[in-house]
Amino acid sequence: MVRWLLLLAIALVIALLARKVLVALRTPATGERDAATPPDNPQAKLVRCVECGAFVPKADTVPVANGLRCGAGCLPR
Ligand SMILES: [Zn+2]
């Protein structure tokens, strides 16, 4: 009798672990994000220009030694 209970307990643990693994495999790496939240595009993120202080999309910036600059107008000459 005790042996059957032990086997049942082991089977339950295995089933729970298998379920966890299956859920983890089905969920993509970014799946924890709330579905209502739009995925943030890193290129659309606004960053501050170290020269003029303007906020510009990160895709439009140019990296310099001390940060990011907003473009040709703020680049060092
Ligand atoms: Zn600038």
Summarised one tens digit per residue, pLDDT across range 7-61 is 888 888 888 888 888 888 887 765 555 666 666 666 678 999 998 999 998 888 8
Domain residue extents for the chain: 2-30+40-74
pLDDT tens, residue by residue, 57-73: 888 888 988 899 988 78
d(CA 59, CA 71): 10
- Read off the DSSP letter of residue 59: G
Quote the ligand 1 centre to 70 CA distance (angstroms). 4
> How many angstroms separate the alpha carbon of residue 71 from the centre of ligand 1?
6
Reduced to 3 states (helix: H, G, I; strand: E, B; else coil), residue 9 is helix
Q: Is the pTM value of this prediction over 0.85? A: no
- Cα distance between residue 46 and residue 8, in whole Å: 56
CA of 32 to the centre of ligand 1 (A): 36
Q: Check residue 36 and give its pLDDT.
A: 64
